[in-house]
Structure 1
Amino acid sequence: MLRSPWQRRALLAAPGLLLAGFGVVHPGQLDAASASWWAALHVVLLPVFPLLAVAQWSLLTSAPPWLRWPGRLAAFGFAAFYGGLDAVAGIAAGTVVHAQHGATPVVGAVFAAGDRLGYVGSACFLVASVLIVVAAALRVGWRAAPGAVVLLLASVSFVDSHIFWPRGVFTMAGVAVGMFLLAPAEEPVRDR
């Protein structure tokens, strides 16, 4: 069990910060020179992206059931579909470009399939974030506003930014900050 609320907040922010860091070293485009690193990086990212869903799941702990369960279902949808994006447009596309020594029409088809998965996954992430914000607002009112604004802006940006530098990196940093700021809304209310 976490010893302090600060540890919990840091743990909730950690996946976004990790992904922002990986975004700094993510190749800007896939070509023969970047293909090997592209594929390897997405193997590393496979277990990291679902940690965002774990953070969302955790932020929904004290939400009323009518928000908690749809939010957790959306977080699960994010983990499943965004993981598919990484497997297809990350690992598979990088492997194909590396094996063919450059991009071919096959890579376009692979990216199209991955993009569809990514849009579904990022839409699920946005839905879960909206439900987190609603739950936080119901629990603590206007005190949730700073974290809510940051998390919602970052979640909207995530729909088409992935973690690419620079926008995707700032998007993931925004996710981390938003979750950090919203974590107190999920902590037990203490009597005075």
Structure 2
Amino acid sequence: MTAGPLLLAVAGLVHPGGLSAATAHRWVHLHIVLLPVFPLLALGFVVLLRGRPRLDVAGVATVVAWLGAAVYAAGYTGLDAVAGIAAGTVAGQSGDQAELRRLVLALYDAGDLLGRAGVYALLIAVLAGTVALGFRHGARVLAGTVVLLGAGYSFIDSHIFWPRGVLTMLAFAAGFALWAWAATQPPTRRPTTISSPAEHLPL
């Protein structure tokens, strides 16, 4: 669950701060490598909510979380392909720089729509996952939820750029780790009432 965000944090350390003809080659190759990595950010919802969902509130929340995670994985992969690979390829071409910049900005706009839709879906998955895990493990899941929601909000416009994007990925890793910790704790049990032996004596 933490491998995906940690890998993205490392990638953010070498991610070019901007796209230009000089950085286009590295920009393209980095985003090709990251194609299978961005979807790993949603793996926590699969691992922690694994199992056949029941027909109750927790089960419905589980399905919503899975759907949100799937939409994120598709949307952010689209961002990676369009604003990463495609835009980088265009920026590295020779020709009219004004026209190339116009094409890159158009690709950015398309990729940004896909990425934002994916992150919003990820935030919905966090809220639904909180409901599902809360039914199983109680209020202890809320610490991870707060961290994940903060990371998701930052992720809307931070991507993985240093420094905020890297810190955002580290926050995702911390949030999923807190959820995992909550899921491994023994369930909270209500104290049982011990009856007096005298209550069972025949009258």
Q: TM-score range by the shorter chain?
A: 0.7 to 0.9
SS at match of 2:7: helix
Alignment of 1:66-145 (within 5 A): 66-100=60-94, 103-145=100-142
Q: For 1:108 and 1:190, how far apart are their aligned partners in 2?
A: 52
Looking at secondary structure, tell me which structure has more helix per residue: 1
Q: Does 1:60 align with 2:49?
A: yes
RMSD after superposition: 2.0
Alignment of 1:15-26 (within 5 A): 15-26=4-15
Cα deviation digits, residues 103-137 of structure 1 (max 9, x gap): 52111111111111111111111111121222233
Unaligned 5+ runs, structure 1:
1-11
Q: Is this contact kept in 2: 1:61–1:186, CA < 8 A?
A: no
Q: Are residues 172 and 191 of structure 1, via their aligned partners in 2, closer, same or farther at CA, if it must alter by over 3 Å? A: closer
Instruction: After TM superposition, give the deviation of residue 48 of structure 1 in Å.
Output: 0.3
Q: Is this contact kept in 1: 2:137–2:187, CA < 8 A?
A: no
State the TM-score, normalized to the length of structure 2: 0.82
Cα deviation digits, residues 59-82 of structure 1 (max 9, x gap): 222672111111101100001111
SS at match of 2:90: helix
Q: For 2:25 and 2:136, how far apart are their aligned partners in 1?
A: 47
State the TM-score, normalized to the length of structure 1: 0.87
Cα deviation digits, residues 20-71 of structure 1 (max 9, x gap): 1101111111011111000100000000011112222222226721111111
Instruction: After TM superposition, give the deviation of residue 190 of structure 1 in Å.
Output: 6.9
Determine what percentage of the aligned residue pairs are the same residue: 49
Q: For 1:93 and 1:149, how far apart are their aligned partners in 2?
A: 34
SS at match of 1:31: coil
Unaligned 5+ runs, structure 2:
190-203
- Greater CA radius of gyration, 1 or 2? 2
Instruction: After TM superposition, give the deviation of residue 167 of structure 1 in Å.
Output: 0.6
Instruction: After TM superposition, give the deviation of residue 162 of structure 1 in Å.
Output: 0.8
Aligned residues: 181
Q: For 2:71 and 2:103, how far apart are their aligned partners in 1?
A: 27
Q: Is this contact kept in 1: 2:79–2:114, CA < 8 A?
A: yes
